[in-house]
Amino acid sequence: MWNKVNELFSDGLNKTQIGLVLGLHRQTVSKYLSLSEDEFISSASYDRHYGHKLDPYEDYVVNELKKWSFLSAPQIHDRLKENFPDLPLVTPKTVFNFVHRVRLIHDLPKEEESSFRPYEKQPETRYGQYAQCDFGERWMRTPQGESLKVYFFAMSLSRSRYKFVYFSRTPFTTALAVYAHELAFAFFSGIPEKIVYDQDKVFLVKENLGDLLLTGGFRVLIREHGFEPVFCRKSDPQSKGKIENVVKYVKYNFLRGREFIGIEQLNRDVLGWLDRTANGTEHHGIRRIPSEEFRTEKPHLMPYKGVPTVPCEKLAPHHVRKDNVINYRGNYYTVPTGTYNGHQTLVYLEEKEGSLHIYSHETGKTLATHKISQEKGRLISNTSHRRDREASLDEYEASVRQTLPESATIDAYLSQLRLHKARNYRDNLQFIARHHRAYSGATLVEAFAKCLEASVFNGCHLMEVAETLRVRGRQPLIDVRQETEAVPQADMSAMLPEKTDLSTFNTLFV
């Protein structure tokens, strides 16, 4: 400071001007000008040291930081209060500055707390076995400078790391999540055997000590496509780290620095990004390009035969009659046999270009499309709703049999079922085909064996036995509980559940 004062004075500035430039009082400037260089060096101003209120506690802080380098300044402040009742009154900022100075002087950088959970690298799963799914969100800017939030769904095949992403302007509901699954399956041209999830409310109503209670729409999706959901424990992101990295990748590689033009444009852009970057460049973990690795994994996926349908949550729901028809403007329109599932079964209806479109209430998928009749009291039907498209019952039986486990017990049961239920054999096969995918092969074989032994030849009873074995861990002496679909906005007190003769289950389980 002495050098600077004398330099400015030599330039012709007076004491007041020097004080304004350097932020010093005029008397301080006079003092510096009155000293020679030797006098300034020997003065107290040359090597001035200011004491700190917390200097007496420096040794304690150093020892604490050596033992626990991750401690924060607020934690140090609290421990000083705890161990030193005479600690002077200081602000949190004073403690922060003191701890920062101690770290610099004693070379004690702050480190993250080490985890005590043991980890080990897992071997790669087999092709087609696993996928992982998660949701994310991020703020974006429009060309007008406005901020808005977008939400996205991501799924990644665990072996090939082949990824799919779908964006939405609204938070994901069960119906929208189901639609995103359908889009992912169509993108992959197949379905993995198992998909790993967080315990998200769009999928899960309650963990229920391991007996998971799924949301209605998600349960329907599982039964239709036959994959197995695997739910992580709460607060355990490490168990699905692959998709956690994908979510971060989408946020910081694709979304960051991108303007929001529209949700349709964003979904088109992300497909290009997936092709050229996320699936088109070498993955650092497997040292392979996901799109090339996917060519090997694709044949191992279960086939996907569905058609993604945008959910129809804004349409008004209509009731389905027990004879599987909809009463609409004085006419009756059919839906596929088996749609009716109790007197509160609902569907969505929409008129478009002279046609009536009927959508599933749980998944939003198209159930039927009919030309609207201008007459009254007519039954407008589609023959495919009454019978399966296979021309022959034998062909249909063979197609259903291929989807069931190889077992002589199952062959024997189906033969007896056809003999005892000749008139309704196709209906029983249709019911079994719609519901058996929700159960493992071992559970199905055991259910068929029990029903064959007890001479219970009914597809509905068969699936109820399979459900009982699944829910109750195949214990013989238990109460039977049948899982039912959730009915939104319904008067639960007015509901009468369908009943099955308990003697059937007494024969099977007692």
* Distance (Å, whole) CA 39 – CA 301: 87
Alpha-carbon span 341 to 490, nearest angstrom: 14
Residue 479 pLDDT: 37
Do 395 and 465 sit in the same domain of this protein?
yes
Which of these, 71, 5, 60, 73, lies nearest to 34 by C-alpha position?
5
What is residue 427's predicted lDDT score, i.e. its pLDDT? 87
Mean pLDDT is lowest, of 152-156, 205-209, 218-222, 441-445, for 205-209
**Residue 113 in this model has a pLDDT that exceeds 60:** no
Question: Considering the domain boundaries, does residue 502 fall inside one?
Answer: no
Considering Cα of 339, then 343, then 348, then 349, what sign does the dihedral take? positive
**Torsions phi, psi for 404 (to 5 deg):** -100, 160
Q: Is residue 114 part of a domain?
A: no
So what's the pLDDT on residue 67? 87
The pTM of this model reads 0.47
Task: Pick 241 or 81 by higher pLDDT.
Answer: 81
Average pLDDT over every residue of 229-248: 72
- Do strands 355-360 and 228-231 pair parallel, antiparallel, or not at all (unpaired)? unpaired
**Whether residue 83 is found in the same domain as residue 223:** no
Structural contact between residues 31 and 22, judged by C-beta atoms closer than 8 angstroms? no
pLDDT for 449: 93
pLDDT in tens, 57-104: 999 999 999 988 888 898 899 889 889 998 999 988 999 999 998 998
Separation of alpha carbons 61 and 59, rounded Å: 5
pLDDT in tens, 273-284: 898 888 988 887
Q: What is the CA radius of gyration of the chain?
A: 36
Q: Is 496 contained in some domain?
A: no
> What's the token pair of residue 42?
């020997």
Q: Quick check: 295 pLDDT over 60?
A: yes
Question: Does residue 214 sit in the same domain as residue 288?
Answer: yes
| CA distance readout (Å), 152 to 31, 155, 195, 290 | 68, 10, 17, 21
**What pLDDT is recorded for position 480?**
34
In a domain, 479, yes or no: no
How many structural domains does the chain have? 5
Structure token digits, residue 357: 């479109």
Q: What is the mean pLDDT of the chain?
A: 81
In Å, the largest CA–CA distance within the chain is 121
Is there a single domain that holds both residue 275 and residue 139?
yes
| Distance separating alpha carbons of residues 293 and 267, to the nearest angstrom | 24
Asked if the structure places residue 507 within a domain, the reply is no
- Count how many residues are written for the chain: 510
Q: Compute the distance between CA of residue 150 and CA of residue 167 in angstroms, rounded to an integer.
A: 7
pLDDT of residue 171: 83
Same domain, 277 and 409: no
Same structural domain, 2 and 92: no
Q: Alpha-carbon distance 271 to 510, whole Å? A: 56
pLDDT at position 481, please? 38
d(CA 160, CA 288): 8
123, part of any domain? no
| Local structure of 367: helix, strand or coil | strand
**372 & 468 share domain:** no
Of 328, 355, 380, which one is at a domain's C-terminal end?
A: 380
The pLDDT value given to residue 241:
61
Look at residue 121 in the predicted model and tell me its pLDDT.
59
Q: Measured at the alpha carbon of residue 466, what is the angle toward residues 462 and 468, in degrees to the nearest 5? A: 115
- Note the pLDDT of residue 496: 47
pLDDT-derived band of residue 117, with 50, 70 and 90 as boundaries? low
d(CA 427, CA 418): 11
Contacts within 8 Å (CB) and 24+ apart, 77-86: 80/54, 84/57, 84/60
Q: Is residue 498 domain-resident? A: no
**Which pLDDT does position 502 carry in this prediction?**
57
Structure confidence at residue 487 (pLDDT): 37
pLDDT, average across residues 288-297: 91
pLDDT (tens digit, 9 = 90+) per residue, 170-185? 888 888 889 999 999 9
Contact 84, 130 (CB under 8 A): no
Q: Are 168 and 208 in a shared domain?
A: yes
Asked if 137 and 222 sit in the same domain, the reply is: yes
Instruction: Give CA–CA dist 349/317, Å, rounded.
Output: 7
- Whether residue 291 is found in the same domain as residue 325: no
Which residue among 380, 410, 433 closes a domain?
A: 380
Residue 505 belongs to some domain of the structure: no
pLDDT at 490: 42
User: Is the confidence at residue 202, as pLDDT, over 80?
Assistant: no
Same domain, 342 and 196: no
User: Containing domain of residue 9, as a range?
Assistant: 1-42
DSSP 422: T
How do residues 304-348 score in pLDDT, each as one tens digit? 988 887 776 566 778 899 888 999 888 999 998 878 888 888 888
Encode pLDDT of 410-419 as tens digits: 999 999 998 8
The pLDDT, as a whole number, for residue 389 is 47
Whether 168 and 246 map to the same domain: the answer is yes
pLDDT in tens, 32-69: 888 887 777 776 555 555 667 898 999 999 999 998 88
The predicted pLDDT at position 36 comes to 82
**Residue 223: predicted pLDDT:** 86
